[in-house]
Amino acid sequence: MFDNVALVGATGAVGSIVLQLLEEREFPFKTIKFLASARSAGMKLTFKSDEYTVEELCAEAFDGIDLIIASTPDDVAAKLVPWAKAAGAVVVDESGYWRMNPTVPLVVPEVNPDAILDHDGVIASPNCSTTQMVLAMKPLHEAARITRVVVSTYQATSGAGVVGEEDLESGSRAALAGEDYDYQAFSHPIAFNLIPQIGSSKHKGYTSEEMKMVWETQKIFNDESIAVCPTCIRVPVTNCHSESILVETERKITAEEARELFAATDGITVLDDLENGIYPLPLSCSGQDDVFIGRIREDISCENGITFWCVSDNLRKGAATNAVQIAELLVQKAGTPAEPV
């Protein structure tokens, strides 16, 4: 049972959405506490009409806690998970620190829910760009087995945190005024620009963000034979990651079959009417929990290829929503705890 819940990183961009989702989705609990860094400790938060004081994250803060949803940097996640496990709690972790640990399941509930059964006190939520792609891949993979994926991402500045959003807004104002701006999150101007690098140089000219998409996809599908060729690009969009995805399958899937498979999948909304200009856009998909797919068409360069456009709110399904869904899945597997008090 998971009666006593803690949210770590409650004052951050993703943590604040997790808090909102826990209330909107009526997540069951007896007690709940909110934890953050020393800088944010003492802040007041309102949850279900009650006021809570944010507490400082430390090992003792997990005493009596059963379930933790953590949205923190990697270095904080490295410390808090051992504290939580020592206290007997289970952690749903949104950082990148535990994702590729072979003892830690990496879960997207619509894709590999049974992986959650093998946890040893921590379940990882994937990188935002991976999450929307594997959900889009799932129905095609089940129908015809995907052998190869070529993906180009167009990632919003919110993926770099609040400072990334500030860089876009202030940098754009400065550029329009003909003034200089000192970028904090990005090594190049993002206003009216594209940056074809997210993360550090990692492997054979691929960045760390790109290799996350390779390794995480293979882990989620438990299939290292799936070939993934990613290119990750930062774009001057405030929120929602967009992806151009080409998949090759063992047997041919027509565009109509792919459209039907997408439409029948939980968590996917199809917007696909090119003649009438209907397809997913970051502006219209922001604030939504689904993965949106359009521009579905057969690849004219290879026999068994399907290509499509995919947009998802990176702060919600790419992070907060997926973590809450994992927590809900844990509760479902364990049995629902008592009503909130």
Kindly list the catalytic residues: 128, 241
Given a contact cutoff of 8 angstroms between Cβ atoms, the answer to whether 324 and 27 are in contact is yes
Phi then psi for residue 177, to 5 deg, are -90, 0
Say how far apart CA 27 and CA 69 lie, in whole Å. 12
Task: Fill in the amino acid letter for 250.
Answer: E
Given a contact cutoff of 8 angstroms between Cβ atoms, the answer to whether 94 and 161 are in contact is no
Q: What is the DSSP letter of 118?
A: G
Q: Residue for token digits 């945190």?
A: 161
Q: Residue for token digits 């933790």?
A: 68
Which region, left, alpha or beta, applies to residue 258 given φ > 0 means left and ψ of -120 to 50 means alpha? alpha
Residue 147 buriedness (CB in 10 A; 0-12 / 13-18 / 19+):
middle
Closest by Cα among 3, 77, 78, 75 to 33: 3
